[in-house]
Amino acid sequence: MSRGQLLLEIRGLDVTFDGFRAIQALDLDVLEGELRFLIGPNGAGKTTLIDAITGLVKPVAGTVNFATRNLLQRRDFEIVRLGVGRTFQKANVFEELTVIENLDLAACFRRSLPTLFRRRKDVLPEVLEALDTVGLASYGNRPAGVLSHGQKQWLEIGMLLVQDPMLLLLDEPVAGMSKAERTKTGELLQLIAETRTLMVIEHDMDFVRRFASRVTVLHEGRILCEGGVADVQSNPMVQEVYLGRAHDRRAHEDAAVGGA
């Protein structure tokens, strides 16, 4: 695979919950090496889309081709083994294990059973590398439970990196982070995008403006528009359904920061 080639191809995807069409006839292409942002109002179907790609929900129609393999007939852990990793809105690390143990757990999923039955004697090189990349090198032997919210999200990203996925799907990685943490996360995402493909769900438009190359706007289960940040922002439809509200919210956030 080389950069610029089609990595993820979604055609005619339909996801229904009890008659409610969460995703409707959705087509989406993600190219190798992209840092794609997925935005849209609440209930637009962003998380559902990632759930459908990773096997957490079963679509009623459509195809999801990842590097020419159809993902829809596969089970969740098989999709991970094909090279599609994801995080969840809430960091979901093993709090009683140390940071290194969390990373090691993630790193060993391709190992054969006989090697799994041995004790861990040292730290794998890929674990050390991920520790450095996500900036948790000084927390290696701490229980993950003592990490801050932002650090847990970084650990989640580190756990993806040690699995060496081709495509990373991140669900609101910077939600609840401080400004400094957001900047650091954005830089981390750009660094990862140098060698991998990312699709990131995000609400924070400042963050999207700073770090996105290409943005897809979802609304009521459909793609409203797609393009560069400037194109998307100047699209009147997007302004109507999303940015208008985002402007309001940004004003609200600014007020909150000013008042703090």
Partner 1 sequence: MTALAVPKLGTLTPWKRRGIFLAIGLVLVVVAPAMLSGFRLALLGKYLCFAIIAIGIDLAWGYGGMLTIGHGLFFGMGGYCMGMLLKLQEAGPGKLPDFMVWSGVEKLPALWKPFGSPVFALSAAILVPMAVAAALGALIFRRRVRGAYLAILSQALAAAFAILLIGQQGVTGGTNGLTNVTTFMGYDLNDPVNQRSVYLLIAVCLGIMYLLARQIVESRYGRVLMAVRDREDRVRFLGYNPTTVKVIAFAISAGMAGLAGALFVPVVGIISPALVGIVPSIEMVIWVALGGRGTLVGAVLGALVVNYAKTTLSEAYPAGWLYLQGLLFVVVMAFAPKGVAGIAKVLKERFGGRKVPPQPVSHQPAEAAEPAT
Residues that bind partner 1 (CB under 8 A): 42, 54, 75-77, 80-81, 85-86, 92, 94, 97, 100-101, 104-106, 108-111, 113, 115-123, 128, 137-138, 140-142, 146-151, 159, 163, 172, 175-181, 203-204, 249, 252-253, 256-257, 260
72: enclosing H helix or E strand: none
Least separation in angstroms between CB 115 and partner 1: 8
92 or 213: CB nearest partner 1: 92
Write down the least CB distance from residue 57 to partner 1, Å. Answer: 13
Q: Which is nearer to partner 1, 175 or 212 (CB)?
A: 175
Least Cβ distance, residue 88 to partner 1 (angstroms): 8
CB of 25 to partner 1, least distance (A): 25
23 is written with which tokens? Answer: 């995703």
Closer Cβ to partner 1, 36 or 46, answer by number: 46
Task: Supply the minimum distance, in Å, between the C-beta of residue 217 and partner 1.
Answer: 16
d(CA 246, CA 102): 36
Cβ-based nearer residue to partner 1, 86 or 196: 86
Please state, in angstroms and as integers, the Cα–Cα distance from residue 233 to each residue in 34, 202, 206, 209, 217, following that order: 19, 15, 12, 9, 10
Question: Cα–Cα distance between 186 and 207 in angstroms, integer?
Answer: 8
CA–CA separation, 239 and 246 (whole Å): 9
First and final CA of the chain: distance in angstroms? 48
Q: Which is nearer to partner 1, 137 or 230 (CB)?
A: 137
Phi/psi class of residue 257: alpha, beta or left (left: φ > 0; alpha: ψ in -120 to 50)? alpha
**Which of 84, 2, 78, 18 is CA-nearest to residue 49?**
84
